[in-house]
Structure 1
Amino acid sequence: MLDIVLLSITLGVVLLAFVFDRLPIDVVALSSLALLLLFDLVTPEEAISGFSNPAVITVMMMFILSYALTHSGLLNKLGQRIAALSGKSHWLASATLLMVAGVLSAFINNTAALAIFLPVGIQLARHYSFSPSRLLLPLSYISIVGGTCTLIGTSTNLLISSLAEQHGQPPFGVFEFLPLGIILFLVGSVYCFAVMPHLPERVDSASLMGRYNLTSFLTEVRVPESGSRLVGRTVLEEGISERLQLNVLEILRGNRRIASDLRRTVIEPGDVMIVRGAMQHIVRFREQYGLLLLTDVKLEDSDLSDEENILAEIQLSPSSSMTGQTLKEIDFRRRHGCFVLALNRTGEMIRDKLAQIPLRQWDTLLVFGPRERVEALLSEDDFISLQELDIRLRMPGRWWVGVAIIPIVVLLAATGVMSILKASILGVAALVLLGGLTITKAYESINWTVIFLLAMILPLGIAMENTGLAAIIGEWIGDIGENASPFIALSVIYLATALLSEIVSNNSTAVLMAPIAITTATTLGLEPKAFLMAVAYAASASFLTPMGYQTNAMVYGPGGYRFLDYVVFGAPLKIVFWLLSVLLIPVFWPLQAG
Structure 2
Amino acid sequence: MHFITALLGIYRAEIGLVILACMFVAFVRERYSPTVVSVLGACAFALLGLLDEKSLFSVFSNSAPLTVGAMFVLSGALIRTGTINRIADLVMVRAQKHPRLALVEVAVGTVLLSAFLNNTPVVVLLIPIMFRLAQATAYPVKKLLIPMNAVAVMGGCVTLIGTSTNLIVAGIAAEQGMQPFGIFDITPYGLAGTIAGVIGLACLSFLLPSDPPSIAGENGGNVQEYLTELVVTPDSEVVGREIGELSVLGRSVTLIGLKRAGEIRRHDLEQEELHIGDRLIVRADGTAIMTLRESGDFELGIAADSETSAREGTVIEAMVAPSHPSIGERLIDIPFLHALRVRLIGIHRARHLPGPDLADTRVRGADRLLVAGSDDAMRSLKDNPNLIGVDISRTRAFRPRKAWIAILAMAAVVILSALDVIGIGLAAFIAVGVILVTRCIDAEEAWAAIDGDVLILIFAMLAVGLALEQAGSVALMVGWITPLMQVAPQWSLVFIVYFAALILSELLSNNAVAALLTPLTIALAHQLGTDPRPLVIALMIGASACFATPIGYQTNALVYAAGDYRFADFVRIGVPLNLIVGVAVCSALVILG
Q: 1:34 aligns with which of 14, 37, 43?
A: 43
Offset, 1:256: 4.6
Partners of 1:129 and 1:205 within 8 A in 2: no
Answering whether residue 15 of structure 2 is matched by residue 6 of structure 1, we say yes
Residue ranges of structure 1 left out of the alignment (5+ in a row): 213-245, 265-275, 277-298, 313-332, 338-372, 380-392, 590-594
Cα distance in 1, alignment partners of residues 575 and 355 from structure 2:
41
* SS at 1:203 equivalent: coil
Q: Which residue of 2 aligns with 1:179?
A: 188
In structure 2, give the amino acid aligned to 1:543. Answer: F
Q: 1:152 aligns with which of 149, 156, 161?
A: 161
In structure 1, give the amino acid aligned to 2:521. Answer: A
Q: Which residue of 1 aligns with 2:570?
A: 566
Q: 2:523 aligns with which of 519, 522, 535?
A: 519
CA-to-aligned-CA distance 1:491-535 (integer Å, 9 cap, x gap): 222221110111111111111111121122112111111111111
Q: After TM superposition, list the pairs within 5 Å mapping 1:363-402 onto structure 2.
A: 376-379=393-396, 394-402=398-406
Answering whether residue 588 of structure 2 is matched by residue 588 of structure 1, we say no
- Would the alpha carbon gap of residues 110 and 256 (structure 1) be closer, same or farther in structure 2, given more than 3 Å must change? closer
Cα distance in 1, alignment partners of residues 334 and 193 from structure 2:
51
Cα distance in 2, alignment partners of residues 10 and 76 from structure 1:
46
* SS at 2:523 equivalent: helix
CA-to-aligned-CA distance 1:112-143 (integer Å, 9 cap, x gap): 22122222222222444443222111111111
Residue ranges of structure 2 left out of the alignment (5+ in a row): 1-9, 222-320, 340-348, 367-386
Partners of 2:215 and 2:564 within 8 A in 1: no
Cα distance in 1, alignment partners of residues 577 and 452 from structure 2:
31
Answering whether residue 108 of structure 2 is matched by residue 134 of structure 1, we say no
- Would the alpha carbon gap of residues 127 and 464 (structure 1) be closer, same or farther in structure 2, given more than 3 Å must change? same
Q: Which residue of 1 aligns with 2:539?
A: 535
Q: Which residue of 2 aligns with 1:68?
A: 77
**Cα-Cα RMSD:** 3.5
In structure 1, give the amino acid aligned to 2:485. Answer: G
In structure 2, give the amino acid aligned to 1:253. Answer: G
- Would the alpha carbon gap of residues 250 and 141 (structure 1) be closer, same or farther in structure 2, given more than 3 Å must change? farther
- Would the alpha carbon gap of residues 116 and 259 (structure 1) be closer, same or farther in structure 2, given more than 3 Å must change? farther
Answering whether residue 24 of structure 2 is matched by residue 20 of structure 1, we say no
- Would the alpha carbon gap of residues 516 and 136 (structure 1) be closer, same or farther in structure 2, given more than 3 Å must change? same
* SS at 1:398 equivalent: helix
Partners of 2:498 and 2:582 within 8 A in 1: yes
Q: Which residue of 2 aligns with 1:301?
A: 352
Higher mean C-alpha displacement, 114-123 vs 154-163:
114-123
In structure 2, give the amino acid aligned to 1:301. Answer: H
Q: Which residue of 2 aligns with 1:494?
A: 498
Cα distance in 2, alignment partners of residues 259 and 50 from structure 1:
58
Offset, 1:483: 1.5
Offset, 1:164: 1.3
Partners of 2:461 and 2:515 within 8 A in 1: yes
* SS at 2:18 equivalent: helix
Q: After TM superposition, list the pairs within 5 Å mapping 1:127-526 onto structure 2.
A: 127-204=136-213, 207-208=216-217, 247=322, 253=328, 255-256=330-331, 301-302=352-353, 307=358, 334-335=388-389, 376-379=393-396, 394-526=398-530
Cα distance in 2, alignment partners of residues 439 and 211 from structure 1:
31
Cα distance in 2, alignment partners of residues 305 and 516 from structure 1:
64
Partners of 1:30 and 1:456 within 8 A in 2: yes
CA-to-aligned-CA distance 1:463-495 (integer Å, 9 cap, x gap): 221222222333433322321312233322222
In structure 2, give the amino acid aligned to 1:512. Answer: L
Offset, 1:257: 7.6
CA-to-aligned-CA distance 1:383-417 (integer Å, 9 cap, x gap): xxxxxxxxxx7444423211211001111111011
Partners of 1:204 and 1:210 within 8 A in 2: no
In structure 1, give the amino acid aligned to 2:569. Answer: D
CA-to-aligned-CA distance 1:348-389 (integer Å, 9 cap, x gap): xxxxxxxxxxxxxxxxxxxxxxxxx8xx4554xxxxxxxxxx
Cα distance in 1, alignment partners of residues 85 and 555 from structure 2:
18
Cα distance in 2, alignment partners of residues 76 and 452 from structure 1:
30
Partners of 1:457 and 1:508 within 8 A in 2: yes
Cα distance in 1, alignment partners of residues 465 and 446 from structure 2:
30
Answering whether residue 79 of structure 2 is matched by residue 79 of structure 1, we say no
Partners of 1:478 and 1:521 within 8 A in 2: no
Q: 1:107 aligns with which of 104, 116, 129?
A: 116
Answering whether residue 65 of structure 2 is matched by residue 56 of structure 1, we say yes
CA-to-aligned-CA distance 1:233-273 (integer Å, 9 cap, x gap): xxxxxxxxxxxxx95699553555888979x9xxxxxxxxx
Q: Which residue of 2 aligns with 1:389?
A: none
- Would the alpha carbon gap of residues 336 and 63 (structure 1) be closer, same or farther in structure 2, given more than 3 Å must change? farther
In structure 1, give the amino acid aligned to 2:493. Answer: A
Q: Which residue of 1 aligns with 2:312?
A: none
Offset, 1:580: 2.1
Q: Which residue of 2 aligns with 1:242?
A: none
In structure 2, give the amino acid aligned to 1:77. Answer: R
